[in-house]
Amino acid sequence: QLTMYLNSPTLLNEENAQGAQRNTECLESLLQTPSSFQDNPLQQLQLASQEVLEKAKKSGRSKCPRCNSSRMFYCYTCFVPVETVPTKEIPTVKLPLKIDIIKHPNETDGKSTAVHAKLLAPDDVTIYKYPCIPEYEEKRHEIALIFPGPNSVSVRDIAFHLEKYTKKGVCASDDDCSREPLLKQAKLEPKEGKNPNEGISSSRSEGTRLKKIIFIDSTWNQTNKIITDERLQGLLQIELKTRKTCFWRHQKGKPDTYLSTIEAIYYFLVDYHQEILKESYKGQYDNLLFFFSFMYTLIKDAKCCAGK
């Protein structure tokens, strides 16, 4: 929650009157003027206008239109923007596949970035609170789990490994496996048939059998309970190894390649778009970081003012 940061002792040194006064003045200035994107690693994103967030920042917390709770920007329990952030001014993103997010029951709602995905891609994202999750076994040939581990593969290798799942007899026959998912995929990806004269590679036709990606939303120390659940066993696991997190709540002792949930979703989709769909990436999913990039800049500037 933003208010937590603006009132936190990490920003306002109460033991030093002069420092506290300086920090307060700086933070008040931040609330009145747009944040600078200088030295922001997210500055190259092609985002919708964040003016609506700037206005909401100045007016402070507002009510959730559903539960009437006081929130900043959005309600993390109802998955809707607050009253000062009109839904029509929030971008929506269409994803090439469905996403399930499994949230640990002890994960603090206000600290999770999973809600960003639901807010910005509401038609394609579903959030489940563990242990209430779907059965995935019958769809193993078209589902993958994003999680690092000894058996994890890269996005580039999805096609090869999904082919192995098919040959292991997940479906009644290879024809059944290839025919039905590809028909469904055509509905999810209208661009696929845009150029009928362009040959579709074997890698792409196999890779687009993927229909759903599962993400686990929890601290890294809490993941064991979920990842060992029998309902997730046997799923293809994918690891994102080449990206570094910008999350302000990075967990101590963990590598910087361990991403927040919304970062993992975003970077996976960028890689999937390029490696599997074989299309040039032109910012199609950048707005998934609409809230994340704004909060990153605000918190970074606040810490800078506090001398952190």
Q: Looking at the whole model, is its pTM more than 0.85?
A: no
In sequence order, which residues have a C-beta less than 8 Å from that of residue 242 and are 6 or more positions away?
257
**CA–CA separation, 295 and 243 (whole Å):** 19
* Residue 137 reports pLDDT greater than 80: yes
Q: Which of 133-142, 187-196, 281-290 has the lowest mean pLDDT?
A: 187-196
pLDDT at residue number 75:
97
Would you kindly state where each structural domain of the chain is located, as residue ranges? 54-90, 91-162+208-307
pLDDT at residue number 217:
93
* Residue 18 reports pLDDT greater than 50: no
Average pLDDT over residues 178-184: 34
CA-closest candidate to residue 263, choices 150, 157, 146 = 146
Per residue in 24-82, pLDDT (tens digit) is 444 444 444 444 434 566 888 999 999 999 999 999 999 999 999 999 999 999 999 99
pLDDT at residue number 161:
87
